Chains A and B, each alone.
Chain A
Amino acid sequence: MLLPILPIVLAIWKRTYKDAILKTLFIYLVIDLSCNLTEFILAFIGLYNIWLFNTFFLFEVIIFGIIYTQLLLSPTKRKFIVFCLIIATIIAVFDFKTLEISPFATAFDKVLMIVFVFLHFNTILSEMRIKNILLHPPFWISVGVIIYAAGSFSIDLFSNYIFNDSDETFLFFLNMRRIVNIIFLLILSVAIWVKKYNIIEEQP
């Protein structure tokens, strides 16, 4: 629950929140931590917190959409991301549920995140501006996002089935999703850490 603290502390320590992309990532991490804490408090006092899950997933895809519009300079790609975000918002609104996870909306968000990562990887490979990809923070953000989206897509899509299944199944998939989340946050920490080594070759 408190794992987002690690990249947040790292971002404050390394002062990477000054960078436009990492600033948006920092905002995402703060929202993630706040949502986790709120969900915990709501569960602790015996109130439903599923609606917060559903809302957070929409915020999540919007924030990553903003990150990728900052990263991708092509106007077509930017327009495409904005269009996807509008669709995601419409689906989230129509599929919104307060008492159970909205499977279609959350799974669609994950698909969008994977598409954004593909767009970013395509840009990296076609432009060839980065000298060392392993020291490029946006690459690590994309690595984290693709692992997170791929690892949670099936679980989110069948979340209602998992909820209604046995406790053993529920705990197994809950822990699996937690592991994916931990890996995601650790990779985001790497993205913040490698900021100082980042070298981009300027286009002539």
Chain B
Amino acid sequence: MIPSPDIQIFIGTSVLLLMALSIIFFVIYYQQKQLKKDLQQQKQIQELKNEMQRQLLESALEVQEVERVRIAKDLHDEVGAMLSVTKMSFNQLLRKLDNAEDLATMGKQTRELLEQSISQVRRISKELVPSTLEEFGLVSSVDEFINKVHLASSTSFVFSHEGIDIKQRFDKKIELTIYRLIQELVNNALKHAEAKEIKLKLTSENNKILFSFIDDGKGFDFETKRKDPKSGLGLRNMESRLSVINGSINIESIKGKGTKTLIEIPI
């Protein structure tokens, strides 16, 4: 039985409307699906870029460390040795000049200068490569570093470590990064903040190393410093170093009330 023309027109209109609605829903569905796919691809590309940048930075830091080792070795083995030999030779010369008093006084002064030069070369060599860090680990090297700074300045230090044994070792990269960050933070606290007291705390929990650094210095406006291309370099360097080991840094500073820095590094 063929339906009447009225019904045929009605069915035709309904079918066309249904088809139109199906097309609309298909377009919405397909567009959203494609968009999600595109976003995912963009995310993957961004992740790859970040990883490449991280690896580049890691290589740059490695090269820097290798260069430091080379300079330290050259200073210690060559310049240091040459100075020691010069000192010995000079001592022999001094013994022969016992009679001439004026010459002897001048000679003694020169020997003191040589001794100072030797100790300076040793100090620079040691600072370039933290040998204590390599031999005894993070806690000992930090302890040694702050003791040295304390002797050279009037700033007092409070260093504590929770969940980390004095002989405990971590990945070389992590240890070196923390050590360099501490050097940078201490340097900033003394040079810019003029801090009187610095508190350092190393904690290890839930596969993470947490490090807090609190000083009672002048404080600063974090955002302004960060945007300043000159003074923000240190902060950006710290962030770059941490990005290599997937660490994060959080700095809170109030003008006149000091600065609190929290660092978190996954082990």
Chain A residues engaging chain B, CB cutoff 8 angstroms = 114, 121, 124-125, 128, 130-131, 133-134, 139, 143, 146-147, 149-155, 158, 161-162, 165, 169, 172-173, 176, 180
Contact assessment for A161 and B35 in the assembled complex, using a CB-CB cutoff below 8 Å = no
Other than the given A150-B20, A151-B17, A158-B5, 19 more pairs (CB < 8 A) read A125-B27, A125-B30, A125-B34, A128-B31, A128-B34, A131-B35, A133-B31, A147-B17, A147-B24, A150-B13, A150-B19, A152-B13, A153-B13, A155-B13, A158-B9, A161-B5, A161-B9, A173-B9, A176-B13
B interface, how many residues as a size bin?
20 to 34
The minimal Cβ–Cβ distance linking B51 to chain A, given in whole angstroms, is 22
Nearest B-chain residue to A139, judged by Cβ: B27
Contact assessment for B24 and A146 in the assembled complex, using a CB-CB cutoff below 8 Å = yes
The minimal Cβ–Cβ distance linking A187 to chain B, given in whole angstroms, is 10
Give Cα A180–Cα B38 distance, bound, in whole angstroms. 36
Contact assessment for A154 and B31 in the assembled complex, using a CB-CB cutoff below 8 Å = no
Please give, as numbers and ranges, the residues of chain A lying within 8 Å of B19 by CB-CB distance: 150
Contact assessment for B16 and A154 in the assembled complex, using a CB-CB cutoff below 8 Å = yes
What are the nearest 5 A-B pairs in CB distance?
Answer: A150-B20, A150-B16, A154-B12, A154-B13, A146-B20
The minimal Cβ–Cβ distance linking B238 to chain A, given in whole angstroms, is 33
Please give, as numbers and ranges, the residues of chain A lying within 8 Å of B9 by CB-CB distance: 154-155, 158, 161-162, 173
Contact assessment for B16 and A130 in the assembled complex, using a CB-CB cutoff below 8 Å = no
Let me know if B171 is at the binding interface, CB within 8 A.
Answer: no
Chain B residues engaging chain A, CB cutoff 8 angstroms = 5-6, 9-10, 12-13, 16-17, 19-21, 23-24, 27-28, 30-32, 34-35, 38
Contact assessment for B21 and A125 in the assembled complex, using a CB-CB cutoff below 8 Å = no
Nearest B-chain residue to A145, judged by Cβ: B20
